[in-house]
Chain A
Amino acid sequence: MSGRVIVITSGKGGVGKTTTNANIGTALANAGNKVVMIDTDLGLRNLDLLLGLENRIVYTIVDVVEERCKLKQALVKDKKNPNLCLLAAAQTRDKTAVTEEQLKDICEKLKKDFDFILVDCPAGIEQGFQNAVAGASEAIVVTTPEMSAVRDADRIIGLLESKEEIKSYKLLLNRVRPNLIKSNDMMSVDDVVEILSAELIGIIPEDTGIITSTNKGEPVVNDEKSLAGKAYRNVAQRIMGNEVPFLNLEEETSVVKKVKKFFSNLIRKEK
């Protein structure tokens, strides 16, 4: 087996890299793939929290590179899905504790046993980013329809293009708010895609379910009803090479929205 190493990166912090990682990883594993996630955000680890695995971590990636344990011992199995593993970051060390070469080496070893290796990249473009990208051959650039996030994504794309190992990169647009787009107060998906001229792999709507799912330590893809969950499942399908149409986020369903719509139409007529 030779797995695909995909780095999930963004430049800017807080756009949803780790959430994306947890959800895509879970969705890929649920679809029957063997998946391992590597948290490279040394000192600021969070992927374990999102997966609800924080109490099960014994060894971290730093223990692996400093040879206090074997690579396999450091892999934490997911609660629900035995196909899903996590290699956690060390919380007490900084980004210099692991080098690019060491990460490359870990990825090479994991490739033999897993279909997908998802690398969760820290924010920024410094050493942490360089480390995370080192072992990967594909990248997913997470951004939101906000100026600062798009600008940082552009910079990340520039850096990825200068790396020979990265064969392809795709754009994932997170925290999209259809209502704001409709009222012309947020850049649309097309705007962002045009500005960054990158291929799109997913559009994830803003969803309060993300917060509650983090509280529970269970990725939102496991929630059948959640729209964001569905969008993440579609991303996983696209990664696997299946063609799935993008979700139509324009549907307005809730009663409050319908009332609002009624009033806005009324106002428009009055004007």
Chain B
Amino acid sequence: MAENIFTELYNRVLSLFGQSVQKEENTKDLACNRLRVVLMQDRTNLTPELLERMRKELVELLSKYVEMDKDALELNFEQEGEQMALMLSIPVVRAKNEEEIEAALKEADEKETDSSDEKSSDEKSDDDELQDSDESFEETSDETTDEDSEGEQSTEDEAEKSDEESASDEEVSQEDDEQSSKEQEVSTEEVKSSDKDSKKKNK
């Protein structure tokens, strides 16, 4: 009770000065987040649906190798001088050990060979869509086309291939302490740009 009276009194005093304390909570963060999303779209031509798809695919790919906090995954485009960089930041919950990684890879392989026949036609049409909307975005389209062709190859090849892919495409810096349950920030940076051109087009 007492504090209500105090708050009211305070508000009345403040309203004399033309201000009110009862504001929405932290509109600043809201503005920042909305801006980030809208700028990402402005800069790349990626629609929210495509971004969500890219996010999903990245999570799928990376979670084969590390256990991470999927909800905290942050995806941002940043301008670094002439180039545009895709910044990906994911808190790693725990590093997976070798067996787990192998098991995850195997599982993924099986899934793919199982469903490749049914899926391939669907996926292809999706890919076309993706490339149409943003040709410059090699990252996503590469990945999906890789998946496509992998489906037709033997399973052993696939495992090797995805290993190479991850090694070359992403630099995951990570501390040695494998089993630590502490969250580590792993940031991967993927720069793919002929993007200056695309930016010019956009503007």
Contacts and interface: CB of A to CB of B under 8 A. Distances in A.
Interface of A: 125, 146-147, 150-151, 154-155, 157-159, 161-162, 181, 183-188, 191, 195, 197, 256, 260, 263-264, 266-267, 270-271
Given A155-B203, A197-B80, A267-B7, A162 B196 contact: yes
Nearest to A179: B19
A266 B34 contact: no
B79 A184 contact: no
B79 A157 contact: yes
Kindly state the interface size class of chain B when it binds its partner.
20 to 34
A263 B10 contact: yes
Nearest to B27: A185
B29 A184 contact: yes
Contacts of A159: 203
B35 interface: yes
A129 to B, nearest CB: 11
Interface of B: 2-3, 6-7, 10, 13-14, 17, 21, 23, 26-29, 31-32, 34-36, 38-39, 42-43, 78-80, 82, 196, 199-200, 202-203
A158 B203 contact: yes
B3 A158 contact: no
A150 B31 CA distance: 11
A158 B83 CA distance: 11
Contacts of A158: 43, 199-200, 202-203
A157 B77 CA distance: 15
23 contacts: A125-B203, A147-B35, A151-B35, A151-B39, A151-B42, A162-B199, A162-B200, A162-B203, A184-B27, A187-B28, A187-B31, A191-B32, A195-B32, A195-B35, A195-B39, A197-B79, A197-B80, A260-B17, A263-B14, A267-B7, A267-B10, A270-B2, A270-B7
